[in-house]
Amino acid sequence: MKYRQDIRNIAIIAHVDHGKTTLVDQLLKQSGTFRSNEHVEDRAMDSNEIERERGITILAKNTAIFYKDTKINILDTPGHADFGGEVERILKMVDGVLLIVDAFEGCMPQTRFVLKKALEENLTPIVVVNKIDRDAARPEEVIDEVLDLFIELGANEEQLEFPVIYASGINGTASKDPLKQEENMQTLFDAIIEHIPAPTDNREQGLQFQVALLDYNDYVGRIGIGRIFRGTMKVGQQVALMKLDGTVKQFRVTKLFGFFGLKRQEIKEAFAGDLVAVSGMEDINVGETVCPIEHQEPLTPLRIDEPTLQMTFLVNNSPFAGREGKYITSRKIEERLNNQLQTDVSLRVKNTDSPDAWIVSGRGELHLSILIENMRREGFELQVSKPEVIVKEIDGMRCEPVERVQIDIPEEFTGGVMESIGERKGELIDMVNNGNGQVRLTFMIPARGLIGYTTEFMTLTHGYGILNHSFDSYKPMQAGQVGGRRQGVLVSIETGKVSTYGIIQVEDRGTIFVEPGTEIYEGMIVGEHNRENDLGVNITKLKQMTNMRSATKDQTQSMKKPRIMTLEEALEYLNDDEYCEVTPQSIRLRKKILNKSEREKVAKKKKYESLN
């Protein structure tokens, strides 16, 4: 069997924030892929604005570098559980992985998740212990942890013989010795060439190309990105697209792109082992196979992660609708959601009885909140409901998604965290005391128990806790309410501008969410109540001006700092009878029914129905 020694295909996998993207930056810079006078931004692979702000990779990216005479295709994968589906599909396109592990944090939940997928695909691993320059680095212990994880996940003997490279992505250095770094990353380049298998060269056989990722471009429409597993693909070639539903469509390859550095370049032909992007197929989807018309042989379809969380997206109908956004109509919102479906395969959009509402399902809170944040930045105005988990019927039983949660906290917060997760029906499955005052707890918890938990967790651990979770499985639904907000809210009974005097009058009733001068409307949530019931308040009230001199005139009152929520916090905070109004400039929480007396009527009716 012939192999293509001029090419290597690898994926970079790791937990969030273990330095994947920074490491890729250094590989790009040191391989000479850029001209010496070319400016390269840090974290060049994170091209999306939100990715750059948050320092997370959301979309899988591919790049290609040249080292000596070999082209190395590198796929940078997301580390967050909500984007696990992307990781899984990318692993189908490569022959080996660089598993990056932080020299201090060691193995984390996503390390486990991505490594499990890589071992299932029988890929060759290289372990890179990154951030070796950290003061608290503990490389020997981390390698022991990695080895234990490999054994636990059922790695075969070949996979257990993984090479280890110690690196510092930020300094651009690597070596085989944990105590001494070389001056560049040559050791890592050499390890990739030596250990990652070269792809099979079977270009004379019939074409097999499988789509793993989608892109969209207004000029050429849908673009399928994937790997040629067999044969040759040329521009102008007539081919058959084997659809997932068993149908076959014929089309012509209009454009073919190869990857060079961070750019895509048009090419005329590509061979087995190449990663390419193809246009010319209107309705190409992830997992579909492109073959010659006369030799139709589909590859095994790729598994796409099912959504586990859903929300209702609605046209904004608040009293302030249309003030701040550019796109406010149902037609525009529906168009935008359908555009998102072109590239996001884990997303589902379902119409409802109302033309102004859609049920949008995704992989998790982060997945959906990033879609909302992108829409908001593009000038959309909309409302969204509380996120709900998707319940499935399995063998006649109602089942719900269960998450595996790993928590790292200082020892003194253990009791409080265990109690709070116990209240949310979480089950402790492992507890490890690291001996340095840190404890690692592992729980299984229903996904609905995690909705809204992050803020409570951060308060409980004074910001020192780290919480990570990944989807585990569907299990029979637990009875009773899990999680949810316990406190009631302060709801405005007036429309107008918030006054300092108005806030001072009510701030002993709870925590205020708005600043003086903010415009508010009747039915808008302006704070959290100290108690479990909702309370109507007027915080637009102005101080009465009189010519009577007050006995306490010279005493000044100071106002507490209001709690301003991010989009994620606002979505987590919502209750069933509330919406989050999202515009390019504001995030407002509101009651579904704005009028106080109408709300009370509905509440009475519900209470009456439940008693009978």
| Matching residue, tokens 């209470």 | 607
Highest mean pLDDT among 230-239, 348-357, 534-543: 348-357
* pLDDT value of residue 188: 87
The answer to whether 130 is annotated as binding is yes
- Provide the 3-class DSSP secondary structure of residue 253: coil
Burial class of 219 by CB neighbour count within 10 A (0 to 12, 13 to 18, 19+): exposed
pLDDT at residue 456 tops 90: no
Tell me if 223 is assigned to a ligand binding site: no
Q: Mean pLDDT over residues 537-549, rounded?
A: 74
Q: Say if residue 312 carries a ligand binding annotation.
A: no
Torsion angle of the four alpha carbons 468, 112, 138, 104, in this order, in degrees rounded to the nearest 10: -30
Q: What pTM did the predictor assign?
A: 0.77
Whether the CB-CB separation of 541 and 502 falls below 8 Å is answered with yes
Helix (H/G/I), strand (E/B), else coil: 278: strand
**H-only helix segments in 362-510:** 365-377, 414-423, 447-450, 453-460, 500-506
Q: What is the pLDDT of residue 372?
A: 93
Three-state secondary structure call for residue 90: helix
For residues 84 and 116, is the Cβ–Cβ distance under 8 A?
Answer: no
Q: Are strands 7-14 and 70-76 parallel, antiparallel or unpaired?
A: parallel
Residue 148 annotated as lining a ligand binding site:
no
Q: What would the pLDDT profile of 288-341 be if each residue is shown by its tens digit?
A: 888 888 888 888 887 776 788 899 999 999 999 999 989 999 999 999 998 888
User: Pairing relation of β-strands 392-394 and 96-102?
Assistant: unpaired
What whole-number distance in Å separates Cα of residue 274 and Cα of residue 293? 21
In this predicted structure, the answer to whether residue 550 has a pLDDT above a threshold of 60 is no
pLDDT cut 90: percent of the chain above it: 22
Rounded Cα distance, 234 and 221, in Å: 19
529 is in an annotated binding site: no
**Is pLDDT above 60 for 549?**
no
442 membership: H or E segment, kind and range: strand 438-446
Residue that has been written with the tokens 């600043």 in this structure: 515
Which domains occur in the chain, in start order?
Answer: 7-195 (3.40.50.300), 208-292 (2.40.30.10), 309-388 (3.30.70.870), 392-476 (3.30.70.240), 489-544+561-607 (2.40.50.250)
554 annotated as belonging to a binding site for a ligand: no
| Tokens 């890929």 found at | 123
Q: Which two three-digit tokens encode residue 105?
A: 């944090």
Beta-carbon contacts of 224 under 8 Å, excluding residues fewer than 6 positions away, are 211, 213, 214, 277, 278, 279, 281, 284, 288, 290
Alpha-helical runs (H) found in 437-482:
447-450, 453-460
Report the percentage of the chain scoring pLDDT > 70: 89
pLDDT at 311: 93
Count helices and strands in the chain by DSSP H and E runs: 15, 35
Cβ–Cβ < 8 Å for 500, 542: no
Query: How large is the average pLDDT for residues 519-536?
Result: 92
| Nearest of 521, 529, 452 to residue 489 by alpha carbon | 529
Single out the residue of 585, 583, 576 nearest to residue 606, CA to CA: 576
Weakest-pLDDT range from 82-86, 192-196, 423-427, 453-457:
82-86
Round the average pLDDT of the chain to a whole number and report it: 83
Instruction: Give the pLDDT confidence of 219-266 residue by residue, as tens digits.
Output: 777 888 889 999 888 888 888 888 888 888 888 888 888 888 777 888
In this prediction, residue 551 carries a pLDDT of 47
Compute the distance between CA of residue 18 and CA of residue 475 in angstroms, rounded to an integer: 31
Strand ranges in 68-220 using DSSP code E only, listed in sequence order: 70-76, 96-102, 124-130, 164-168, 173-175, 208-217
pLDDT tier at 583, thresholds 50, 70, 90: very high
What is d(CA 326, CA 377) in angstroms, rounded to the nearest whole number?
A: 10
- How many residues in total does the chain contain? 612
476 strand-pairing partners: 399
The answer to whether residue 415 scores a pLDDT higher than 70 is yes
How many alpha carbons lie under 13 Å from residue 224 in its C-beta half-sphere? 24
Judge whether 352 is annotated as a binding position: no
537 Cβ contact list (under 8 Å, min separation 6):
490, 491, 492, 493, 506, 509, 526, 527
71 marked among binding-site residues: no
Residue 76: CB atoms within 10 A of its CB come to 25
Range 308-337 burial, b when 16+ CB lie within 10 A, else e: bbbbbbbbbebebbeeebebbeeebbbebb
Residue 367 assigned to a binding site: no
Annotated ligand binding at 19? The verdict is yes
User: Which of 364-373, 377-386, 411-420, 453-462 has the lowest average pLDDT?
Assistant: 453-462
Measure the CA–CA gap between 448 and 554, rounded to whole angstroms: 51
470-499 confidence digits (pLDDT tens): 778 899 988 777 766 778 899 999 999 999
The first and second tokens of residue 47, run together, are 């091209």
- Mean pLDDT check: name the lowest of 96-110, 394-408, 586-600: 96-110
pLDDT on residue 79: 58
Question: What does the pLDDT look like over 273-287, one tens digit per residue?
Answer: 898 888 877 778 888
